[in-house]
Amino acid sequence: MGSITVVDHPLVRHKLSLLRRKETESAQFRLLLNEISLLLGYEVTRDLETEDRTIETPLAAMEAPHLSGKKLVLISILRAGNGLLEGMLDLIPTARVGHVGLYRDPETLQAVEYYFKVPDDLGDRPVIMLDPMLATGNSAVAAVERIKSAGARQLKFLCLLSAPEGIEAFHAAHPDVPVFTAAIDERLNDHGYIVPGIGDAGDRIYGTR
Ligand code: URA
């Protein structure tokens, strides 16, 4: 069975409640999503490797921990994934970035790929996939399959909200990929939207509706 970590820190829960409100406009929505990304990012990167290096403080030399190993890769599932990407890059400015473009066929709710650009050497690097909504799980499952076929072996999936149906589908397809989320909502509606949710993440980030 796959693992799921719900990052339910009071700051995350509070900011998520503000973000969910239908009156929250795009500028404020992006700001809150950015702040939540920092807090989720803190948790999802908890096991990054460090190594001690000698440094000098104004008072003494010491062995101090620094991030080590190959640079992390952040992969945004377009377009809403970019809403999480900004905060993650504020936290880890040296990360490499990839993009996967998928849209949901409105009839079948299946993911169709229209864009793919990722760093070459995925196999040697930790990879964090970003998509605010784990709803039906179809696009998340397809995006992770695609990234695995490009060579990635150490993957995590980070989302803002998830639905039980999406978690089940994702774990069935990718039990080896841990999921991190700020909340597990009640259910999906007939259009595959998370309820109570936030509505369409892309539209709310970019003010397209
Ligand atoms: N995508 C969204 O943007 N919102 C949902 O609720 C589900 C999928």
CB 201 within 8 A of CB 29: no
Residue 102 banded pLDDT, cuts 50, 70, 90: confident
Instruction: Give backbone dihedrals phi and psi of 204, rounded to 5 degrees, phi first.
Output: -75, -35
- Tell me the two tokens of residue 154: 């150490």
Active site residue 121: no
Per-residue model confidence (pLDDT) at position 156: 98
First to last CA, the chain: 38
**Nearest Cα to 133, choosing from 187, 196, 86, 200?**
200
Is 104 noted as a catalytic residue in this protein?
A: yes
CA distance readout (Å), 55 to 48, 69, 71, 117: 20, 19, 21, 38
Local structure of 205: helix, strand or coil: helix
Q: By the 8 A CB rule, do 168 and 137 touch?
A: yes
From the list 5, 24, 124, 203, the catalytic residue is 203
- Does the C-beta of 188 come closer than 6 Å to ligand 1? no
Would you state the pLDDT for residue 22?
Answer: 97
Q: What is the pLDDT of residue 21?
A: 98
- What number is the average pLDDT over the span 48-54? 96
Is any atom of ligand 1 closer than 6 Å to the C-beta of 194? yes
Catalytic residue among 5, 24, 104, 124: 104
Structure-block tokens of residue 27: 């500028």
Question: At 33, which CATH number?
Answer: 3.40.50.2020
Contacts by 201-206, CB closer than 8 A, 24 or more apart:
201/80, 201/83, 201/132, 201/133, 201/160, 202/79, 202/80, 204/24, 204/26, 204/29, 205/26, 205/29, 205/30, 205/33, 205/79, 205/80, 205/82, 205/83, 206/26, 206/79
Q: Which of 108, 120, 190, 209 is catalytic?
A: 108
Total of domains in the chain: 1
Contacts of 50 (CB under 8 A, 6+ apart): 65, 66, 67, 68
Centre of ligand 1 from the C-alpha of residue 70, in Å: 33
Is the confidence at residue 109, as pLDDT, over 80?
Answer: no
Q: Per-residue pLDDT averaged across 149-175, rounded?
A: 97
Q: Is the pLDDT of residue 112 over 90?
A: no
pTM of the complete model:
0.94
Closest residue by Cα to residue 68 from 88, 52, 87: 52
Mean pLDDT score of the chain: 95
For 174-208, how does the pLDDT look when each residue is reduced to its tens digit (9 = 90+)?
A: 999 999 999 999 999 999 999 999 999 999 999 99
> Catalytic site residue 208?
no
Dist. CA 66 → ligand 1 center (Å): 37
User: How many angstroms is it from 64 CA to the middle of ligand 1?
Assistant: 43
Residue 1: pLDDT band by 50, 70, 90 thresholds? confident
pLDDT reported for residue 17: 98
Residue-number span of the structural domain to which 169 is assigned: 4-206
Tell me the two tokens of residue 184.
């597990």
